[in-house]
Structure 1
Amino acid sequence: MQIGFFAVGIGPSADPEIIALTARTAEQAGFHSLWAPEHVVLIDQYASRYPYSQDGKLPMSTKVDILDPFVALTFAAAHTKTIRLGTGICLVPERSPVVTAKEIASLDKLSGGRFDFGVGVGWLAEEFTAVGVPWERRAERTREYLKAMKLLWTEEEPQFTGEFCSFPKVRLYPKPVQKPHPPILFGGESTPALKRVAEVGDGWFGVNVTVEDAKAKIERIRSYAQAAGRDPGKFRFMVSPGLGLPVELDMIKRYRDAGVHQVALGAIPRDAKGIKGEIERLAEKLVVPAAKL
């Protein structure tokens, strides 16, 4: 059973010393992966509902530092050799698909093929307004952008004509080290989100989900995948029980039995000493025992 660490590039961890220390310590401790979130901007007053809290509010200050995840992960890659590096998650519909494809291919090359592409459609409508992208039909935009990015990663001279994105014959190099491209893991728990996983993704990244919820959603994704003519056995499933929540080895075992391949643990560190101690504590308590499951 694999254990990932979330997060770097946010709050106190949006700091070069702490990113480097977190990445090195997590790799040495046996963590499988390291994850960075994304928000271009946050808004003080918003009507959108945050999907991962009971009151629908983001559980942190809007004045928090949040690095561009590709910059943070590239910095982490320079300080490590084996740990995988993922976006948790990248707001795909807010970005240029051509530029994002370039960034991902570059990161995958510099990291030696260690990037996992966690993607989502976003929850903060006001952020979309700020970056000049329509909130409506963002799911359809995401699907089309991913289709275009896959062509850019896999074809020598791709061209694309779509509703949201078009480009003539172009050459985008480097290509990703991983073939045909880095794994695409979708976030989200709604029925449309789970169908996106099954139809265009390579896996699912569930956030704040219980063991029972994870099992039910994994079964649904596998069913949708089979209906779409895809092999359900090739999908990867990852969950985060929630930052700061107590997690015991028995819970890790139950996630494994539910079909989960990786559990993301961790916290947002407050200082270098604290993060090193937290990673080493989690490694002794969970990472090392989980590797034997």
Structure 2
Amino acid sequence: MEVGLFSIGVARTADPDIVGQIARTADDMGFASLWAPEHVVLFAQDSYTSRYPYNESGKISVTDADLLDPFVTLAFAAAHTSRIKLATGICLVPQRNPLITAKLVASLDRLSKGRLLFGVGIGWLTEEFQALGIPPERRAQRTCEYLEVMRVLWTQDTPSFQGEFCAFPPVKSFPKPIQKPHPPIIFGGHTVPALRRAVEVGDGWLGFHLSSQEAAPLVQRLNQYATEAGRNVDDLFIGVVANAPVTREGLQQYRHAGVRHLVVRLPTVAPERLEAALGELREHLVVPAQSL
């Protein structure tokens, strides 16, 4: 079992010195991954009606904090590290031009020497789509097509594409990713369609803000869909961002739920306490996880 950290590029972790400190320390201490989220714009809590799907209130708690672009953040972290995986958590694929996203993914995978995990999702904030001038309707279909576009760009020397949402004649697009055929595509989301996309379109799944009890039936369903899709379950990334601090016993419970990659939240401590706090997480979670 592996243990990763969520997240960098948000609020206090948008400070370059702190990003560098977190990245270097996590890399040295054996954490498996470092995740950076994405929203282009957010809204005051009383000015949007879309429901945030990952808490009971249906609202994002922080909307005025700094929120860096995940690709810029991870590229900065890559320069401070040599081993840890760098993950978008998650990239809102339907809000981005797929040719530009393909270039960003390939560039970051190249600069990190093959350490990118491409976490993706279809988005939930209708008002954000509207602000960007992108129809929120059929965003799942748009996401799947955009990922198909990216695969073509990553794997073919002279790719072309003709689809519903994107079309272009034969082009040249370099560099290609270090990881072959491309970095793992890891879908977020807890709905049945999201789980099916994770195994039919992607290479795995990241549950968000889940307890081990909540994760277990979702992982079971994911495994079922993978078998139905002819995918080898052992080849899939199966991860969860924990909904609360995790004890050693809790670590075992996540593993029994079928989680292979547990992502925990960064400690909320002063910068001078950060290294010690990550050291405690290492002893309580990273080291024990290696034997699970």
TM (norm. structure 1) is 0.96
Show the 5 A alignment for 1:257-272.
257-267=256-266, 269=268, 271-272=270-271
Match of 2:55 in 1: 53
State whether residues 50 and 56 of structure 1, in contact with CA within 8 Å, keep that contact through their aligned partners in structure 2. Answer: yes
- Residue 208 of structure 1 deviates from its aligned partner by 1.5
Match of 1:279 in 2: 278
State whether residues 7 and 35 of structure 1, in contact with CA within 8 Å, keep that contact through their aligned partners in structure 2. Answer: yes
TM (norm. structure 2) is 0.96
SS at match of 2:60: coil
Q: Distance in 2 between matches of 1:118 and 1:16?
A: 22
Structure 1 segments, 4+ long, off by >4 Å, are 268-271
Q: Distance in 1 between matches of 2:281 and 2:267?
A: 14
Structure 1, residues 42-75: CA drift from partner, whole Å, max 9, x if none? 0111101111111111122x21100000000000
Show the 5 A alignment for 1:215-234.
215-234=216-235
SS at match of 1:89: strand
Q: What letter corresponds to residue 170 of structure 2 in structure 1? A: K
Identical residues among aligned pairs (%): 52
| Alignment coverage as a number of residue pairs | 290
Q: What letter corresponds to residue 166 of structure 1 in structure 2? A: A
1:83 paired with 2:69, answer: no
Q: Distance in 2 between matches of 1:220 and 1:201?
A: 15
Question: In 2 relative to 1, CA 172–288 (structure 1 residues): closer, same or farther, beyond 3 Å?
Answer: same
SS at match of 2:210: coil
- Residue 292 of structure 1 deviates from its aligned partner by 2.5
CA RMSD of aligned residues (A): 1.2
State whether residues 7 and 268 of structure 1, in contact with CA within 8 Å, keep that contact through their aligned partners in structure 2. Answer: no
Q: Distance in 2 between matches of 1:46 and 1:277?
A: 40
- Residue 271 of structure 1 deviates from its aligned partner by 4.2
Structure 1, residues 244-281: CA drift from partner, whole Å, max 9, x if none? x2211111112112221110012375642243232122
Match of 2:94 in 1: 93
Q: Distance in 1 between matches of 2:227 and 2:55?
A: 32
Q: Distance in 2 between matches of 1:233 and 1:83?
A: 21
Show the 5 A alignment for 1:1-293.
1-44=1-44, 45-60=47-62, 62-242=63-243, 245-267=244-266, 269=268, 271-293=270-292
Q: What letter corresponds to residue 237 of structure 1 in structure 2? A: I
Q: Distance in 1 between matches of 2:268 and 2:111?
A: 26
- Residue 291 of structure 1 deviates from its aligned partner by 1.6
Question: In 2 relative to 1, CA 285–229 (structure 1 residues): closer, same or farther, beyond 3 Å?
Answer: closer
| Structure 2, unaligned runs of 5 or more | none
Q: Distance in 1 between matches of 2:195 and 2:265?
A: 25
Q: Distance in 2 between matches of 1:268 and 1:91?
A: 26
Q: What letter corresponds to residue 109 of structure 2 in structure 1? A: D
SS at match of 2:104: helix
